[in-house]
Amino acid sequence: MADDLANTIIRELMRQRGIRSEEDAEEYLSDLPRRTYNPFLMKNMREGTDLILSEIRAGRRICIYGDYDVDGITSVCILHTVLSRLTENLTWYIPSRFTEGYGLHEEAIDLLHREGVGLIITVDCGITSDREVTYAQRLGMRVLVTDHHNIGDVLPDCVTIDPKQEDETYPFRDLAGCGVAYKLAQAIQRQAGLDRSVILEVLDLVASGTVADIVPLLDENRTIVKYGLSKLNERSRAGLAALEEAIGLKEITSGSISYGIAPHLNAAGRMKHAGEAVRLLLAPETDRDTIRNQVQILLSCNAQRKKLQNEAYERAREQITGEESIICLQVNGIHEGIAGIAAGKLKEDFLRPVILATDTETGLLKGTGRSIEGVDLFRLLDTHRDRFVRVGGHKRACGFTISEEEFRRLQPLLEEEVRRIYEEDPSILELTGNYDLEIRPGDVSLPLAEALSVMEPFGEANEQPRFLIRDVMIRWPNYMGESNQHVRFKAEGDGARIQCVLFQRAGEYAEQVESGGPAGLIGTVEINEWNDRKDVQFIVKEIV
Q: What is the pLDDT of residue 462?
A: 92
Q: Does the N-terminal peptide bond of residue 465 adopt cis geometry, omega within 30 degrees of 0?
A: no
Amino acid at 161: I
Strand order in the sheet with 142-146: 90-93, 61-65, 117-122, 142-146, 159-161
Q: How far is the C-alpha of 389 from the C-alpha of 401, rounded, in Å? A: 5
Q: How far is the C-alpha of 229 from the C-alpha of 67, rounded, in Å? A: 23
Q: Does the N-terminal peptide bond of residue 457 adopt cis geometry, omega within 30 degrees of 0?
A: yes
Q: What is the pLDDT of residue 431?
A: 55
* Residues near 420 by beta carbon (within 8 Å), at least 6 away in sequence: none
User: Residues 62, 79: contact at Cβ < 8 Å?
Assistant: no
Q: How far is the C-alpha of 390 from the C-alpha of 396, rounded, in Å? A: 17
Q: What is the mean pLDDT of each run of 10 residues along the chain (544 residues)?
A: 80 91 92 94 98 98 96 98 98 92 92 98 94 97 94 90 93 96 98 97 97 92 96 96 96 94 96 97 97 98 94 92 93 88 88 93 91 89 91 80 96 96 86 80 94 92 94 95 92 95 91 92 91 90 90
Looking from the CA of 333 toward its CB, the CA atoms found within 13 Å total: 7
Q: For the whole model, what pTM was predicted?
A: 0.89
Q: What is the pLDDT of residue 1?
A: 39
Look at phi and psi of residue 82 and say left if phi exceeds 0, alpha if psi is from -120 to 50, else beta: alpha
Domains parsed from the chain with CATH numbers: 39-207 (3.90.1640.30), 319-429 (3.10.310.30), 433-543 (2.40.50.460)
- CB-count exposure of residue 164 (10 Å: 0-12, 13-18, 19+): middle
Please report, for residues 191, 245, 259, 300, 516, the alpha-carbon distance to residue 248 in angstroms, rounded to integers and kept in the order given. 40, 5, 12, 15, 35
> In a 3-state reduction of DSSP, which class is residue 259?
helix
CB atoms within 10 A of CB 503: 14
CB atoms within 10 A of CB 15: 11
Q: What is the pLDDT of residue 396?
A: 80
Q: What is the pLDDT of residue 155?
A: 93
Q: 22: part of which helix (H) or strand (E)? A: helix 22-29
Please report, for residues 44, 392, 444, 451, 539, the alpha-carbon distance to residue 5 in angstroms, rounded to integers and kept in the order given. 49, 48, 11, 10, 20
Q: How far is the C-alpha of 124 from the C-alpha of 64, rounded, in Å? A: 11
Please report, for residues 109, 121, 544, the alpha-carbon distance to residue 96 in angstroms, rounded to integers and kept in the order given. 14, 18, 45
* Buried-state track 371-405, b at ≥16 Cβ within 10 A, e below 16: bbeebbbbebbeebeebbeebbbeebbbbbbbeee
Please report, for residues 115, 472, 493, 539, the alpha-carbon distance to residue 516 in angstroms, rounded to integers and kept in the order given. 68, 9, 12, 18
Under DSSP, the state recorded for 463 is P
